[in-house]
Amino acid sequence: MFRGPTGLHRGMTDTPAARIAVVTGASAGIGRGAAVQLARRGFGVVLTYRSHPEGADEAVEQIEREGGQAVALPFDIGRTASIPDFVGAVSHRIAAVWGTSEIFALVNNAGFGGGAAFAGITGEHFDRYYNVLLKGPYFLTQALLPLLADGASIVNTSSSSVRPGDTEPGYSAYAAMKGGLITATRYLAKELGPRGIRVNSVAPGPTRTRIADDAFERHPEIIGAIAGRTTLGRLGEPEDIGKVIAFLASDDAGWITGQDIQVSGGYAL
């Protein structure tokens, strides 16, 4: 367990609890899993939500029950015009709650899933994929650069759908944006390396989240087939991905940058 913002998390190393992580899209699923795992590693967490404030409140409550500290802020990653106001809100809250002006981890996780057949994709559909999955994370990272501490870590959530072998009809636009994010990850690692800022991405496979309008809850019959294509024999859980994100944000991963790490249980090997 760990103490408040000025205490230390006691593990293999001492990590200042005043280190702050920003996690977008953390009201449920992978983002929530990452927020909880980061708090367990001693980070103070700023988590965002778009349409599920109740989920964000539950995530904050869970972190606080375990002795951590977190705050939730509304944010729509698809509206890049709102980014300056969000950055201002982050700066204000981390100063007020933790007495700091720096962020040590940024997790670009907010997004949406669900396929759309290529023949039916409209410009509006394409722009939504682009704005939420690529443009938003790209420009949010740029806007937060003044707050990111030297030696900080950025983790982007990509997707196993980018990899050959996991090519399913209906995901051309989604996978194209995730592929772009992986490429941007590598280039940002190169550009931000002189500041000691590490940039990586994690590529989940099918994971039990609210993605695609709670598809796994509405269609549990599909789980068996997915587990059958997964080397480790089950559907991924948010904490599976969250643990790897928290690791990459920590000093334990201090020699890893520019990588896209598959966290899929061996899906579609």
Give the C-alpha separation, 145 to 58, whole Å: 29
Give the C-alpha separation, 263 to 121, whole Å: 29
Give the C-alpha separation, 155 to 97, whole Å: 23
196 Rama class: left (phi>0) / alpha (psi -120 to 50) / beta: left
Residue ranges per structural domain of the chain: 13-263
For the stretch 250-262, pLDDT in tens is 999 999 999 999 9
In the set 130, 174, 187, 267, the catalytic residue is 174
Provide the pLDDT for residue 4: 33
Share of residues in the chain with pLDDT > 70 (%): 91
Provide the pLDDT for residue 115: 86
Residue 14 has pLDDT above 60, yes or no: no
pTM: 0.91
Active site residue 171: no
Sign of the torsion formed by the C-alpha atoms of 98, 72, 144 and 238: positive
**Which pLDDT band, with edges at 50, 70 and 90, does 135 fall under?**
very high
Give me the chain's average pLDDT, please: 91
Beta-carbon contacts of 235 under 8 Å, excluding residues fewer than 6 positions away, are: 206, 207, 208, 216, 223, 226, 227
* Topology of domain 13-263, CATH: Rossmann fold (3.40.50)
Mean pLDDT of 5-13: 35
Share of residues in the chain with pLDDT > 90 (%): 85
**Which pLDDT band, with edges at 50, 70 and 90, does 114 fall under?**
confident
Residue 217 has pLDDT above 90, yes or no: no
Give the C-alpha separation, 231 to 240, whole Å: 15
Provide the pLDDT for residue 212: 53
